[in-house]
Amino acid sequence: MLKGRRQFIRTVARTGAMLGVGGQALLRSGSLRAAVSEAQESGALREPWPQMRYRTLGRTGYSASRLIFGCGATLMRSRRDELLHAAYDAGVNVFDVGTRRYYDEAETNLAPFMKTHRDKIFLISKAMVYLDVEPDEQVTTEQARQGARTWTGLLDQSLSELGVDHVDAYYLMAANNVSIVGSEEMYGAFERAKAAGKVSYFGLSTHQNAQAVLEKAIETGWYDLAMIAVTPGGWYDWEDRSILPGSPTLKALQPLLTRAHEAGIGLIGMKAARFLAGRRFLGWGNPDAFDEFYDEDFVKQKLSSFQKSYAYVLEHGLDAVNADMQNLLHLKENFVAAATSNQYFTAA
């Protein structure tokens, strides 16, 4: 790990030099404000980074960094090897991506990094079943079989795009239909892929109907990992990009999360801070939106609103948080939150 830390420090130094004290921002945008901001941020990158912390992901037994690099959006259009290596050198050891059908070139752009580090990281990819069904609709056996065939085909495509013959976990992506989550056809597709050496663990990601989906995953006993869209205020609303109306708070969801852990499911958070950014056409979001769910001491901590949301969910039932990082400063912000979250809470 010491060697990795030295490599990481060199990466930060190289990136800081390339920033040219905001010069690139000025050239890109013509904005002096952006240039000044970038110069200030480049200075922040020279400050020490904390040691990453790790948590076992359910029955996988894998000791995962509490920050997971969400590669999908970052790598859709181009390679970002310098960012991937910076995260790895700092101690991030789980990388999450997804099928070309949703994330365009992301898997292909991750492949060169994978070639260097495949045996040292936990690799996750995912695909939807692409069935036109509502969350509460009961699918037919033939629909479930069709979904399983689609998912299996996309797994094979992912392996090809990534340049590997095996992923550690492959998710049922954007799972919102309980009958699909609980279908023998889907589980059979995973079991066959596992027997063929293509994947070790079965997971799902969900940001709609998440509570019912997670409850079904617990009931089946099939799922090793669940990536859930949840905020300090409760379930994330995919349709409205906010907190789901009527949702229990994250504190109130603790019994459900405990049941998931007892069932051997590793819990990964996503969209923990997305609501804070808001929508551009409605303004730039509400950075204080989650403050009502925090105690007074935590509100006063010297963390950004995004860091607070990540730290909070990590200390209230989640093993790790998946975050999209578009630049080195963004990576550092998320990294610090994940690495230091335990410092702000005496008990979850």
The domains of the chain, with CATH numbers, are 1-48 (no CATH), 52-343 (3.20.20.100)
Q: Are strands 54-56 and 63-65 parallel, antiparallel or unpaired?
A: antiparallel
Distance in angstroms (rounded) separating the CA atoms of residues 183 and 175: 12
β-partners of residue 70 are 96, 324
Q: How confident is the model at residue 347 (pLDDT cuts 50, 70, 90)?
A: low
Span 192-218, pLDDT tens digits: 999 999 999 999 999 999 999 999 999
In this model, does residue 9 exceed pLDDT 90? no
Distance in angstroms (rounded) separating the CA atoms of residues 272 and 99: 22
Q: Where on the phi/psi map is residue 296: left (φ > 0), alpha (ψ -120 to 50), or beta? A: alpha
Span 109-129, pLDDT tens digits: 999 999 999 999 999 999 999
First to last CA, the chain: 29
What is the chain's mean pLDDT, rounded? 88
Which residue, 278, 282, 226, 342, is CA-closest to 290? 278
β-partners of residue 56 are 63
Half-sphere exposure of 175 (CA within 13 A, CB side): 34
Span 37-51, pLDDT tens digits: 555 555 556 788 999
Span 162-183, pLDDT tens digits: 999 999 999 999 999 999 999 9
Structure tokens at 95: 């990388």
Which residue, 158, 190, 159, 163, is CA-closest to 175? 190
Distance in angstroms (rounded) separating the CA atoms of residues 343 and 62: 23
Confirm if 38 and 290 have CB atoms less than 8 A apart.
Answer: no
DSSP H helices in 20-139: 23-29, 32-45, 71-74, 81-90, 100-103, 106-117
Which residue, 316, 106, 162, 288, is CA-closest to 232? 316
- Tell me, what's the pLDDT at 33? 52
Region 259-283 average pLDDT: 82
β-partners of residue 317 are none
Span 242-254, pLDDT tens digits: 899 999 999 999 9
